[in-house]
Structure 1
Amino acid sequence: MNFKEHLESLDIFRRVGKIADEMGMETYVVGGYVRDLILKRPCKDIDFVCVGSGIALAQKVADSFEEHVPLSVFKNFGTANIRLNDWEVEFVGARRESYRHDSRKPIVEDGTLQEDQERRDFTINAMAISVNAHNFGELIDPFDGLGDIKRKTIKTPTDPILTFSDDPLRMMRAIRFAAQLHFDIEPDTFLAIVHDAHRLQIVSAERIMDELNKIIMTAKPSYGFKLLFVSKLLQQFFPELVELQGVDSVGDKSHKDNFYHTLQVLDNISAMTDNLWLRWAAIMHDIAKPATKRFNQKVGWTFHGHEDKGARMVPGIFRRMKLPMDERMKYVQKLVRLHLRPIALVSDKVTDSAIRRLLFDAGDDVNDLMTLCRADITSKNNNKVQRFLANFDKVEKKLVEVEEKDQVRNFQPPVSGEEIMEIFDLKPSRIVGDLKEEIKEAILEGQIQNNKAEALELLYKLANQKGLKKQH
């Protein structure tokens, strides 16, 4: 690859090189930008390393533009960055790092380019291209990162035990890069992850989740999860998922391995959607199966109620993992709770009432729920899969028909609690809630239409039975 030609084609590289020469400063573009340039992947983050003050270089570069360029300086880290349209450009001085055993925060000192490359996590991220005039476009690759890209290999530039012990988050990053790039992890590097997996405990949940979510968002997340499982990293932060692994047998009756089933569901759904939280619903949909597993001599293994227990487990897992405790968590919880409901509606004898209830309970998430249900079909028997999918086609058709007719998705009862209190001169009380609930149930059961006139007619009838007199 002609790096010089590429760098010359972009103003930022020519500009930084010219200013670096004026300042007498060795300067290189490093890391992810170089890696992605070789891999022909899009990258909007450019990292420059200079032997000297990165902040001083960033200031000069920002000042060189006629228009105002936003400059952010982080003195504590010795870094600065500028934004150029949709480019994020960071400047840092070359440095060497050392670590204490109980912290992943490095002790930083000024260093040479080679020391800066040695401290990098992987060989594919330790390459640099010079922007100085005398060797503009020259690749500096002391650890054969280029060769590892050709070999599709993740490998540390120095002793992997030391690399991961210093900063255990790098173990998650190794698996994330392997999953994103479809690379293998070099054997000694992988053995070091296994050896140091317990060190992940000193890393914050937020940083672990940041890497995990990137793994979840890859084209085939099961690959990353299998690496996490085999390396024992998954056991450090997601024991509930690990517990799904394994098969129990009594006589000739066995259940499927719910860990690998879950990974297949995750891959299936990832082929259909880029919605991170719908992918999380796939991860969590069977999470309570170990807790609900029972053996019945007649029917074999059962997992009754795993959808309800799973939904109750979601908030605790999200809280521990420092995942968002907001509408996104409630969305995952809802889909876990409802994921078996559409399967029960495949019969031709299913009532409109059952369809109305699903529409009411799922609300605007009903289409995502159906996507999850389709992803949940993991049989190796293709005829069986096609039969299930055809059944879900029927359910979706019924959902559309009933919604068009009854409009119950997200509906609010046509008579509010405030109106009931005003009509019968009531204070907030249980009887008001009961009346509202009975009207809602009547609509869902199809006893009355979802409109105000029929709702009021039923209200007066119910109130009369309870001895309530209309006041207004």
Structure 2
Amino acid sequence: MQTDNDLILDHLNDPIFHLIGEVADEMNRPCFVIGGYVRDIFLDRPSKDIDIVTLGSGIELAEAVTTKLGKRAHLSTFRNFGTAQVKYSDQKENIEIEFVGARKESYSHDSRKPIVEDGSLQDDQNRRDFTINALALCLNKEHWGMLVDPFDGMNDLKKGIIRTPLDPDITFSDDPLRMMRAIRFATQLNFHIEKETFAAIERNRKRIEIISKERIIDELGKIIRSDIPSRGFILLDDCKLLPIIFPEVAALKGTETIEGRGHKDNFYHSLAVLDNVALRSRNEWLRWAALLHDIGKPRTKRYDSRLGWTFHNHNFIGEKMIPGIFRKMKLPLNEKMKYVQKLVGLHMRPIVLAEEVVTDSAVRRLLFDAGDDIDDLMFLCESDITSKNREKVKRFRDNFELVRTKLREIEEKDSIRNMKLPIRGEEIMETFGLPPSRPVGEILSAIKEAILDGKIPNEYEPARLFMLETAATMNLFPTKK
């Protein structure tokens, strides 16, 4: 079994670390690899991002290293920030190395941008967000591989603890994004946040308002992409950050009982669906659809003394909410948004089919509306079954399998997925001497409905005959050529 020291020496055996250490020694500069790369050595996680801190100018060290690497390396400098990036390719992979001079930071109350001064290694470790990210390994020959761990971060790593190096109130007030990062790391690594650190997140939660939506959604995206994303959203709710950063999801939480009749907590249900999807799919946007599939329920919740609690049309309301949510959260307003919107809008359709007699017409319409996303929609709906009643779950899954069989049969027979009508609007206008107008749209709609209802096959001649018959009922007649 490898010791911690064996792990360190094994990872530092890469020629790039020896080269950086040699250059630092030539320049008489203390030099360390620090942060996430060191943390991930002990977590046995792959990490390509290497952060190097040195006493003095990080840019000067980066320039000297680039010179040694020669044509394999590309240097980018960011003099306003005192940092530099070296990209180079070895025989196995492309590597990025960030160089920075050790520094200390101070903050004003209304900004997360620090005032930066030159500092010692201790100053640099003090400014790190968490103890597990403050670990440093020396690259100088005299102390090669020595671990510098002033905050007992190794012990926190072994115990699975997220904790700030200094007073958490100061850490989070200075840079409120660190509150999101604490929750993200706890989610990704399956760690727990130390009690006082977590309490400080709740105390400082309103400071998150100075952070841009882009930064927040970057952290939320990493939570969504984690193995068990529900853990992050539960933590966000527990520390009261969720209502500030994502009020629509926070509004799902809670139950209500009238006349002894209650409804399930749609927040925890949505998280269960999200975890179900995450178990089998890395598709980030399918995961977003899972989180947001019931987002319209708070706006549609009603109590009826005969029916109990109802959420009529919550899927359609949710579908309409998606563009506004994506715009506010700075999520992409492109095909990814439309994909999530489609799945939210359609997610009740397979469930209804699974509860009723499955007709060919209903399956054709589902195929037509879902198109190439039909498989993801079916997977989302299967993931939506979170009942603890095994018999109910089995019945739904059996019925979903029946729906899937019907989908395959209809697709093979009628080619409905992404269906293009065999008659185009131009032909209708030419046949009846019409300009672009409402009657043209009505005839096209009638042809589509006839195909979906199975009255005519999705073929040109039957569709043309149906067009003529429909036009006749509208007192339209072919023009003479």
Q: TM-score if structure 2 supplies the norm length?
A: 0.96
**Which residue type is aligned with residue 32 of structure 2?**
Y
Q: Which amino acid aligns with 1:168?
A: P
* Deviations 1:397-421, CA, capped at 9 Å, x for gaps: 1111111100011111111112222
Residue identity matched to 1:57: L
In structure 2, distance between residues paired with 1:348 and 1:196? 51
- In the alignment, the residues of structure 2 paired with residue 328 and residue 30 of structure 1 have an alpha-carbon distance, to the nearest angstrom, of 36
The correspondence for 1:27, drawn from 24, 27, 31, is 31
Provide the rounded CA distance (Å) in 1 between the counterparts of 2:480 and 2:161.
Answer: 79
Partner of 1:425 in structure 2? 433
Out of 291-300 and 31-40, give the one that drifted further. Answer: 291-300
- The Cα offsets for residues 328-357 of structure 1, whole Å up to 9 and x where unpaired, read as 111111111100100111257321010000
Residue number among 282, 286, 291 corresponding to 1:278 in the alignment:
286
The residue number in structure 1 matching 2:479 is 470
Partner residue in 2 for 1:237: 245
Whether the 8 Å contact between 2:8 and 2:41 is mirrored in structure 1 is no
Q: Is 1:337 equivalent to 2:341 in the alignment?
A: no
- 2:309 match: secondary structure: strand
Distance (whole Å) between structure 2 residues aligned to residue 378 and residue 77 of structure 1:
49
Q: Would you say the 8 A contact 1:296–1:302 is kept in 2? A: yes
**Aligned ranges for residues 29-428 of structure 1 at < 5 Å?**
29-85=33-89, 86-346=94-354, 349-428=357-436
Q: Distance in 1 between matches of 2:355 and 2:388?
A: 23
Deviation (angstroms), 1:455: 1.2
Say how many residue pairs are matched: 472
Post-superposition offset of 1:67: 2.9
Distance change >3 Å, CA 405–CA 348, structure 1 → 2: farther
Deviations 1:109-134 (A, max 9, x none): 11111000000000000010000111
Paired amino acid for 1:470: T
- TM-score of the pair, normalised by structure 1: 0.98
Structure 1 position 9, deviation (Å): 1.9
Task: Give the conservation status (yes or no) of the 8 Å contact 1:7–1:14.
Answer: no
**Which whole-Å CA distance do the structure 1 matches of 2:132 and 2:218 have between them?**
21
Instruction: Rate the CA distance shift 1:296–1:211 in 2: closer, same or farther, 3 A.
Output: same
Task: Give secondary structure in 2 for the equivalent of 1:35.
Answer: helix
CA–CA distance in structure 1, aligned partners of residues 293 and 356 of structure 2 = 26
Runs of 4+ with >6 A deviation:
none
Q: Distance in 2 between matches of 1:254 and 1:158?
A: 46
Describe the SS at the equivalent of 1:129: strand
Q: Retained in 2: the 8 A contact 1:4–1:136?
A: no
Task: Read off the aligned partner of 1:73 and give its amino acid letter.
Answer: T
Instruction: Specify whether residues 471 and 106 from structure 1 end up closer, same or farther in structure 2 by C-alpha distance, changes over 3 A only.
Output: farther
Structure 1 residue identity aligned to 2:33: V
Query: Corresponding residue for 1:10?
Result: 14
Q: Which amino acid aligns with 2:38?
A: V
For 2:408, the aligned partner's letter is: V
